[in-house]
Amino acid sequence: MRKDNQSSVSEFLLLGLPIRPEHQGIFFALFLGMYLTTVLGNLLIMLLIRLDSHLHMPMYFFLSHLALTDISFSSVTVPKMLMSMQTQDQFIPYADCIAQMYFFIFFTDLDSFLLTSMAYDRYVAICHPLHYMTIMSEALCTLLVAVSWILSCANALSHTLLLAQLGMKPGNHTFSVSEFLLLGLSEQQGQQPLLFGIFLSMYLVTLLGNVVIMLAIGSDPHLYTPMYFFLANFSLTDLCLSSTTVPRMLANILAHKHTITYAACLSQIYFFLWFIGLDVFLLAVMAYDRLVAICHPLHYTLVMSSRHCILLVVMSLILSHSYSLTHTILLAQLSFCSDNIIPHFFCELLPLLKLSCSNTYVNQCVLIYWGGALTILIPLLIIISYVRIVAAIVRVPSASGKWKAFSTCSSHLSAVCLFYVSAIGVYFIPSTDDSASKDRIAAVMYAVVAPLLNPFIYSLRNKDMKSALGRLLSQRAL
């Protein structure tokens, strides 16, 4: 426990630039003109690169991302400054300040990483011109941008979470919790070795299964299609989702220590929500891919182009990141007074909201909004996709054609059912006296069991995957 006998600030005063009041109008017009020029200039660059096929090459691929980053970077600070000049209101709430700092650090780092990637691109182009197109492949360019996003996000998140520990959460409080106690799956000491063995085995199988899926897809040219591109991303997400919770639980069981620090708890919630959200969006994207393949087969390669597939994955990353970041920032504002016991095996959002001694109305509203989107809207879109898919399959004249069309969807449909049945068990079944135990079981299903079973679902029920796995294993044996 950490004792703080002090008041906490709920907003900050931004002094702004040292400008005399009579010069405010001139500087407002100056910065507004600079901001509009920045936005319009970078949008024009992005539009030209998109429309001109001659610019569809690595150098301009990085430039378009840099232009987008520059727009976002400028939009983090300038609009707020202009609004403060216009309204003479120089105060910024705590939550807005934290969010502004996060995105400022994020886009600053992203700028730096993209400039480094562009420097590497120019190095390869000038020093190894004959191998340029081989080295700077579309896959490598996408990987460089993705790594830039991940590293920028990690650095910005680290600073944000560390700042959230400094006791600046709004509201007056006497005690604040510095760590939480995770009760785990069972409080009986005799069951701990059994649980450790079971979950260690499950995690290792999850790790091995998803890595093998990604290796098989990456090493087999026959699987260089949108369906398996999304499956590789889905396997990586499942691997990350399982790694967010299980290793920590295993370490706690082994060390007989069930406490987790405030910062580590927030970090675990952030990454857990991010990968859960990414799982949901990728399942929707994979349903859309099957819809196009079965209902519009003649236009499949045109609609599901490589750029379109990358855009869908990037949009899934951005939306899931927004979902995770919103909850994490709102949670960082809450105070936790004396009760620090979480009846779970990891830091989960709902139990933490119940522990808070602050007003959680905003958190609950955001939870309902995002929960509705992820557990109602996205499944509804998937259902609509499959209704159209079934209608298209019924019109196929031959039985073999119907079976072939259905077999390409059965694995994905199984993964959707496995994920959503367990998730709905947490958020939609009415609470009872033993709801904490049911929540833990349901969480094990969608956070541990689903990532474990998905590799088997996609490999055992898919002829192409079984062939690719056979070729991969035979290559390793040689």
- Give the pLDDT confidence of 391-435 residue by residue, as tens digits: 888 887 777 777 777 777 777 888 888 777 766 655 555 555 456
Most confident of 159-173, 363-377, 458-472: 363-377
Burial of 177 (0-12, 13-18, 19+ CB in 10 A): buried
Q: What angle do CA 86, 90, 95 make, to 5 degrees?
A: 120
pLDDT computed for residue 478 by the predictor = 56
pLDDT computed for residue 3 by the predictor = 42
Residue 14's identity, in one-letter code, is L
pLDDT computed for residue 205 by the predictor = 93
What does the alpha-carbon distance between residue 436 and residue 355 come to, in Å, rounded to a whole number?
A: 13
Residue 5 has pLDDT above 50, yes or no: no
Residues in the chain: 478
Give residue 473's region: left, alpha or beta (phi > 0; psi -120 to 50).
alpha
Alpha-helical segments (H) within 356-398: 361-372, 378-394
Residue 1 has pLDDT above 50, yes or no: no
Q: What angle do CA 79, 85, 90 make, to 5 degrees?
A: 90
Average pLDDT in the 149-160 region?
81
pLDDT computed for residue 236 by the predictor = 92
pLDDT computed for residue 88 by the predictor = 75
pLDDT computed for residue 27 by the predictor = 80
Quick check: 4 and 174 in contact, CB under 8 A? yes
CA atoms within 13 A on the CB side of 343: 14
Average pLDDT in the 130-146 region?
85
How many H helices and E strands in the chain?
17, 7
Average pLDDT in the 436-444 region?
74
Least confident of 112-126, 335-349, 420-434: 420-434
Q: Domains in the chain, start-ordered, CATH in brackets?
A: 2-164 (1.20.1070.10), 181-477 (1.20.1070.10)
> Which is more confidently placed, 173 or 236?
236
> Which is more confidently placed, 91 or 312?
312
Convert 218-233 to b/e letters by CB count within 10 Å (16 or more is b). eebeebebbbbbbbbb
Show the tokens assigned to 395. Answer: 């019109």
Report how far apart, in Å, the C-alpha atoms of 222 and of each of 134, 404, 463, 467 are.
19, 17, 12, 10
What pLDDT, in 10s, does the model give residues 367-380? 887 777 777 888 88
What percent of the chain lies above the pLDDT cut of 70? 89
**Average confidence score pLDDT of the chain:** 82
pLDDT computed for residue 432 by the predictor = 52
pLDDT band, very low/low/confident/very high, at 4 (cuts 50, 70, 90): very low
Average pLDDT in the 219-246 region?
89
Average pLDDT in the 37-63 region?
89
Q: Quote the pTM value.
A: 0.70
What does the alpha-carbon distance between residue 475 and residue 469 come to, in Å, rounded to a whole number?
A: 10
Matching residue, tokens 């298209």? 392
Residue 179 has pLDDT above 50, yes or no: yes
pLDDT computed for residue 441 by the predictor = 77
What percent of the chain lies above the pLDDT cut of 90? 18
What does the alpha-carbon distance between residue 416 and residue 162 come to, in Å, rounded to a whole number?
A: 36
What pLDDT, in 10s, does the model give residues 194-218? 888 999 999 999 999 999 888 888 8
Show the tokens assigned to 326. Answer: 């919103």
What does the alpha-carbon distance between residue 312 and residue 229 come to, in Å, rounded to a whole number?
A: 11
What does the alpha-carbon distance between residue 371 and residue 427 come to, in Å, rounded to a whole number?
A: 8
Whether the CA torsion 305, 306, 308, 313 is positive or negative: it is: positive
pLDDT computed for residue 115 by the predictor = 93
> Which is more confidently placed, 176 or 382?
382
Beta bridge partners of 11: 93
Residue 23 has pLDDT above 50, yes or no: yes
Closest residue by Cα to residue 249 from 206, 188, 203, 209: 203
Show the tokens assigned to 4. Answer: 């703080």
Element (H, E) at 5: strand 2-6
Q: 3-class DSSP state for residue 359?
A: coil
pLDDT band, very low/low/confident/very high, at 40 (cuts 50, 70, 90): very high
Look up residue 373 and give its DSSP letter.
Answer: I
pLDDT computed for residue 43 by the predictor = 92
What pLDDT, in 10s, does the model give residues 320-337? 888 888 888 888 878 887
Quick check: 241 and 447 in contact, CB under 8 A? yes
Average pLDDT in the 116-137 region?
90
Burial of 165 (0-12, 13-18, 19+ CB in 10 A): middle
Closest residue by Cα to residue 287 from 463, 449, 417: 417
